[in-house]
Structure formats: C-alpha cells, structure tokens
C-alpha cells in the first residue's frame, strides 16, 4: 500500500474561524474550505495568479503573542497571497465591501450596459458580481469609451472590445495552457486590448476555451452569437465523441437542436478544457441530411419503407451467410452497439468478418503487442502523463490526433519541467516546447527506434534479450543517421533523456510500413528502462472496439478486397464511410460497386450512402443511452440528451430486433441490460455496470 503523501499545513483564521490549510495555498482557495467565496475576475485556478483585477481584495492581519490581530494597512489580493502561520483573513469587513464596490465602479466606467443583447447575459460573472457586491447607482455621467464591435478574431471567435475588462485570462490561457501564445495585449492603459500578432487569424486548436473563461462578453462564439439566451437553453452532461479522448462536456440544446458545447470538469480526463473540433464540431446533430427513416432500393432508387421491410431484406441477404458476409465499422459506436453487432454477425449470421480499423497495416490478433510481448498497449492514464519526468512522443501529431493528451504533455513540461523528446517525420505542435526534436525521414522511424534501444542496451541502461540485441546491434547512431537523417549526437542525447520515459504514440503509427516493428521496439524499450508505453487509439471507441471486436476473421482491407472480387456478397457498413476513412478510394469504389447487397447504417448521409441496398437510420451518440471507452480505457456513460430523429433507433436495439426475428428469445429492453451481458463475456467491463459506474467513468 502506497504511503500517504505528507503535506505541510499552517494554522490560519478566516472570519475568526480557525482552520488548517496547506502551507502556501492561495487564500482565494483556502476560503472555499469553509464554504465561502471571494469574487474574482482575473484569477483562474489552472493558471498562474497575476492580481490584475483586484476584485478579490481582503483584509489580512497576523496574530500577536497577546492574542490580538495586527492588520496590514492596505487590503491584499487573495489570489496572490499564500497562506502562512498565524494569518488572519477577513472577507466580510466594511473595508472589503467598500473596496469591492470601488473596483466594480471603475470596471463599469467604460463597460457598455448592453446586457440585454450580450451573449454572456444571464451567466456573466461581471453581471453577478455587480449585483452581489457592486454599487446600487453610478456616479459617472461622462461618455463611455467606444471601440470595435463584433470584430472577428477567427471563424469561431468574435471580439467585442468595449466589454473587455483587461483581466488577461485569454492571453494567459494561450501562453500557459494551449502554448501557442497567439493572443497578447496591445497598447497600454485604457487602450490595452487582447489581439493576435499583426491581426492574423486566431487559429489556435483550443481557441474555444477563451470564450468560457472570459468573465464578461468580450469573447463570444461566432456560431452561438444571438442564437439563444441562457434561460432558453436546456443543459445536460455529455461526452464528446469526435476523438478518442472522451472529453466531458455540457450539451446545450433548444427545441430539440444542439446549440453549443461547453467544457465540463473531469479531472481524470480533460480537466475542463475542450479542443475546437469538440467545441464547434457537433453540427451534425442539426444536419439537414440526417437519416430519419429506413430505406430500401427499388428500381435504382432508395425509397422509404417500414422497419419490417428493411429487416426482412437484411435477413434475406445475411442469414446463414458465413464467410460471404461481413461488417466494417464501429469505432465511433457505443460499446453496447459494438457488442450486439458482433453477436449478430458471429452467433446468428455465422461470420467472423468484423473489423473497425482503417490503418494501412492491420495487425492480426497474433501480431498484437499483447500477444507478442505480453503487455498492454496502453499503460498510462491521461492524468498520469503530467507527472512523468520525461516523455517520448513518437510518430504522432498530438495536438491534431489526441488534443487533450497534448495539453497534459505540455502541462508536464510547463508545471513540472518534464523533458519532452519528439520523434516524427513532420513538424508538430509539441516541437515548440520539446527538449529535443528528432526529425527523421518519412518511413525511417524503425531505424530511430532501434538506435535508441541499442544505445541504451549497450550502455547498460536497458536489459533486452540476446535475440533482440543481435537484431538491432547494427543500428549505431551513425548508421541510424545515415538512414533517417537525424544527427548521431542528437540520437545519443535523446537516449540519455528517455531512460524510464513514458512513451506516447498513436494508432497512426500503423499507417507506416514499419509501424508494427516501431511499436514493438518502443514498447520493449519502455519496459526495459522502467517506463510506460502508450499506443492510443484515435476514434471515440477504438479501445472498446479493439476489446469487443476480436473475431479472428478478415480485416478491413481483406473485406474490401473480397467484396471487390465478389467473394463477399453482402457488406454492412456500421456508422462509417470508407471513402473518408480508407486510403485506397479506388478499392472502396470497386468494393461497393461489386458487392451484391450493401447495408448502410448511420445517422447522416455519406458518400457511401448512394451505393446502399438498405439504409438503417441510427441515433446519434447523444440521442441514445450507451458507454464509450476512451483512449486510456476509461468507460464513460453518455445518457440521451436529444430525442431520436424520425424513426432512428439505437444500434444495439436494431441488432437485437433482427436477432429476435431469427432466434426467438427475450429481447434486450435497455442499454443497461446489454452492458450486463457484456460484463459476462468480458469481465473487465464489470466496472461499467450502469448502477455503479461513477460520473467520471471507470478504467477497465
């Protein structure tokens, strides 16, 4: 059992209440321990304190030997004041009330009183603090300052400069959290304003977060602007399904339509941040091309039909199909959908041809890391990354593929001085703070990985088998330089840094011909040096699909080839468009043209839709109950937010209804029953029982 972490504490009093708090904790955080609150504008708990707005002023003194309190002559900013022994803090004194009124009075001198049309109205910290702590009337009759209105910083962010109170949150976010430093303050005094360099586009991959942390309506969402008022909206917790990170979000909707996405706090996953893809990429819920009714092909046209007709066509062409039928897709579907899809294909239709992967090189089950090395392909949680002393990021553009993992890796460097080594054939966002960058020629990652492991083995810092050592002994730094173009001295320095490092890569590694070898070498190196290896998936449920879709049948490439040559006569595309996902469009086109019967199941029209024999409308993620397993193996539940569109059904329900027609039995009545069935077959999912699954999810 791990020893408890010892934290030095100090004794302070807050409003005459004695309390012990961690030494050095900011007073603005200490008061929360008593259920109190100090109003703030510039302070944010995930960024360094700057004390710019002075809204958090409190009276502070120190206890004297005789028991009296000697107060400081001036109020202090609680957001920059660390707790120390004997400190006495007063948050509710006459001086504090007077100072708060003064701060707010000055902030409102030039702030426009346009709350009725401001997007922030109704959920605005300035509005709330003014009502609670501000003056009842104003003494200023002069003309207010006027500045640019609705200035577009980017396609997503609109700036109303008149509302800015110069708190600096947006600027500090880009410097400390996202790291792109695209915003800075221009000019000085009353003219100071956040701006991009040379007024370029604010194209940060995390720009949407500044909307949420802005304490006024200065930075607003271009897509949400004037669409609704906060009291018009209904809000429910949800999970973003646009990548494998599984970010927790608030889903705001109105009259059955998605209106906006905001970050929701989950310390284990995204803290409270979102990427722009997740914040602005959910418009498919309102897409005019949503699939709402089942369709069958008649006279070369897709026409609407009832579910009974659609099911009968599917059964006619898939029942007893064996190796002549197949299913592709699933990585963006819930665990419950995946389990029932595989059950239908394997147990009812008699086919093992089920796959969800679209990398160029698809491993068989026997070639997986679990089989070859006997170790997991994901060994670190997202939260654990920020505590790693050194990290090797290999073959992945983190900010694009795994944005929240990118933020954690950057946090490890920014907060804990972790040394980051990047190995990739192209520039990445991690390069900006990396200790070393190993820029290798495309397709030569294997030489770099072998060189690093060989160098460590020769130096006695990694223990590898004799067979492995013999296989890599030729990869000296000089030999690797000749192949990859990475300087030998840089390879030597990198090897010294990554002893015991956490290795971070992604399934995109398998798009390279040497991907499997690179992954095995990196995994072995991490194990040999006491580090951890992580090969994260890229789709919303890659992890779950990998666990639930193990059948031993044909992979995606083999299925498409078999469909193209006619040996697979019936193909089922489960919520996927192979034209968008597969690298060989010509093969996809030939496969879809030659297959005798094609089922398209999904929530929106795709390019593959036009080849369909039968169309089965499926609910979108936030329209059904289900769970998703993110890249670290965390199972999280996504409850229904919106009603289904038209006659669309949840995937698991659709598969269950087909199975009942072929094998009469008691059908599944809800997603919770499906999860209970999953746990029987895959015991690791027992932690995902709906009755006990924590709000923050559970690791399998």
pLDDT of residue 3: 47
Is pLDDT of 430 > 70?
yes
Pick the CATH number of 125-221 from 3.40.50.2000, 3.40.50.261, 3.30.70.20, 2.60.40.1080: 3.30.70.20
Backbone φ, ψ for residue 323 (5° rounding) = -75, -5
496: left (phi over 0), alpha (psi -120 to 50) or beta: alpha
Residue pLDDT, tens place only, 442-461 = 999 999 999 999 999 999 99
Q: How would residue 65 be classed by pLDDT, with cut points 50, 70 and 90?
A: confident
For residue 7, pLDDT beyond 80: no
What's the rounded Cα separation, in Å, for the pair 149 and 116? 16
Q: What pLDDT band is residue 6 in, cutting at 50, 70 and 90?
A: low
Give the tens place of pLDDT for each residue, 480-529.
Answer: 999 999 999 999 999 999 999 999 999 999 999 999 999 999 999 999 99
pLDDT in tens, 87-123: 999 999 999 999 999 999 999 988 998 999 999 999 9
What is the β-pairing status of strands 325-329 and 354-355?
Answer: parallel
Fold of the 365-538 domain:
Dimethylsulfoxide Reductase; domain 2 (3.40.228)
DSSP string, 429-483: GGGGG-SEEEEPPTT-HHHHHHHHHHHHHHTTSS---HHHHHHHTT--HHHHHHH
Q: Is the pLDDT of residue 175 over 80?
A: yes
Q: What is the pLDDT of residues 256-296, one digit of tens each?
A: 999 999 999 999 999 999 999 999 999 999 999 999 999 99
Once rounded to an integer, what is the mean pLDDT over residues 423-428? 96
Q: Per the confidence metrics, is the pTM higher than 0.85?
A: yes
Topology classification of domain 9-107 = Ubiquitin-like (UB roll) (3.10.20)
- 297-356 pLDDT, tens per residue? 998 899 999 999 999 999 999 999 999 999 999 899 999 999 999 999 999 999 999 999
> pLDDT by residue (tens digit) across 463-490?
888 888 999 999 999 999 999 999 999 9
- CB contact at 8 A, 197 and 184: yes
What pLDDT does residue 146 have?
87
Q: Can you tell me whether residue 73 is helix, strand or coil?
A: coil
200-228 average pLDDT score: 95
User: Under CATH, to which class is 295-356+543-699 assigned?
Assistant: alpha beta
Given a contact cutoff of 8 angstroms between Cβ atoms, the answer to whether 423 and 487 are in contact is: no
| Residues of the chain by 3-state class (helix, strand, coil), percent to 5 | 35, 20, 45
Domain boundaries of the chain, sorted by first residue: 9-107, 125-221, 295-356+543-699, 365-538
Dihedral in degrees, nearest 10, Cα atoms 670, 342, 631, 681: 70
């Amino acid at each position: 059992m791990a020893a408890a972490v010892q934290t030095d504490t100090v004794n302070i009093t807050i409003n005459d209440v004695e309390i012990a708090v961690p030494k050095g904790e900011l007073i603005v955080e200490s008061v929360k321990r008593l259920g109190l609150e100090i109003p703030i504008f510039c302070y944010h708990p995930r960024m360094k304190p700057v004390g710019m707005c002075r809204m958090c002023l409190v009276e502070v003194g120190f206890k004297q030997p005789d028991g009296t309190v000697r107060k400081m002559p001036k109020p202090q900013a609680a957001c920059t004041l660390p707790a120390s022994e004997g400190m006495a803090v007063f948050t509710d004194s006459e001086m504090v009330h007077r100072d708060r009124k003064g701060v707010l009075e000055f902030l409102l001198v030039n702030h426009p009183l346009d709350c009725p049309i401001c997007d922030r109205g109704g959920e605005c910290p300035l509005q709330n603090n003014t009502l609670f702590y501000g003056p009842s009337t104003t003494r200023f009759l002069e003309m207010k300052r006027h500045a640019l209105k609705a200035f577009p910083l980017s396609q997503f962010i609109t700036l109303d400069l008149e509302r800015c109170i110069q708190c600096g949150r947006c600027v500090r976010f880009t410097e400390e959290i996202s790291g792109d430093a695209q915003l800075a303050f221009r000019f000085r005094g009353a003219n100071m304003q956040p701006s991009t360099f040379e007024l370029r586009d604010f194209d940060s991959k995390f720009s949407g977060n500044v909307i949420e942390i802005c304490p006024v309506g200065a930075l607003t969402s271009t897509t949400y602007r004037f669409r609704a008022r906060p009291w018009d909206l209904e809000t429910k917790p949800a999970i973003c399904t646009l990548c494998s990170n599984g970010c927790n979000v608030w889903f705001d909707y109105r009259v059955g339509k998605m209106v906006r996405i905001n970050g929701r706090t989950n310390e284990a996953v995204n803290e409270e941040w979102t990427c722009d893809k997740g914040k602005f990429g959910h418009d498919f819920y309102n897409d005019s091309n949503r699939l709402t009714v089942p369709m069958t092909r008649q006279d070369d046209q897709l026409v609407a039909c009832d579910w009974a007709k659609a099911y009968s066509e599917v059964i006619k062409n898939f029942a007893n199909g064996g190796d002549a039928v197949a299913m592709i897709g699933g990585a963006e579907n819930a665990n419950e959908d995946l389990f029932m899809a595989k059950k239908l294909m394997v147990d009812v239709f008699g086919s093992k041809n089920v796959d969800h992967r679209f990398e160029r090189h698809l491993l068989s089950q026997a070639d997986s890391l679990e089989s070859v090395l006997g170790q997991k392909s994901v060994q670190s949680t997202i939260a654990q990354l920020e505590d790693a002393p050194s990290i090797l990021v290999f073959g992945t553009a983190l900010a694009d593929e795994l944005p929240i993992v990118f933020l954690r890796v950057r946090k490890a460097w920014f907060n804990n001085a972790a040394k980051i080594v990047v190995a990739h054939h192209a520039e990445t966002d991690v390069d900006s703070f990396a200790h070393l960058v190993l820029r290798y020629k495309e397709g030569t990652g294997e030489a770099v990985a072998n060189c690093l492991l060989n160098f460590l083995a020769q130096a006695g810092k990694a223990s590898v088998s004799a067979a492995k050592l013999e296989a890599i002994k030729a990869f000296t730094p000089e030999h690797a330089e000749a192949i990859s173009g990475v300087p030998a001295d840089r390879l030597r320095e990198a090897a010294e840094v990554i002893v015991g490092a956490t290795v971070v890569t992604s399934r995109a590694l398998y798009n390279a011909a040497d991907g499997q070898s690179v992954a095995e070498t990196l995994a072995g190196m991490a194990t040999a040096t006491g580090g951890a290896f992580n090969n994260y998936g890229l789709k919303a449920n890659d992890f779950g699909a990998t666990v639930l879709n193990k059948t031993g049948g044909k992979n995606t490439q083999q299925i498409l080839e078999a469909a193209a040559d006619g040996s697979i006569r019936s193909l089922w595309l489960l919520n996927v468009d192979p034209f968008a996902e597969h690298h060989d469009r010509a093969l996809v086109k030939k496969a879809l043209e030659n297959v005798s019967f094609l089922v398209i199941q999904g929530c929106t029209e795709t390019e593959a839709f036009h080849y369909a024999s039968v169309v089965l409308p499926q609910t979108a993620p936030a329209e059904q109950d289900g769970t998703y397993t993110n890249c670290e193996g965390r199972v999280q539940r996504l409850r229904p937010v919106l009603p289904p569109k038209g006659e669309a059904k949840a995937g698991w329900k659709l598969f269950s209804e087909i199975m009942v027609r072929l094998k009469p039995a008691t059908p599944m009545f809800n997603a919770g029953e499906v999860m209970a069935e999953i746990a029987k077959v895959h015991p690791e999912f027992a932690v995902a029982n709906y009755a006990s699954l924590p709000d923050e999810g559970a690791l399998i």
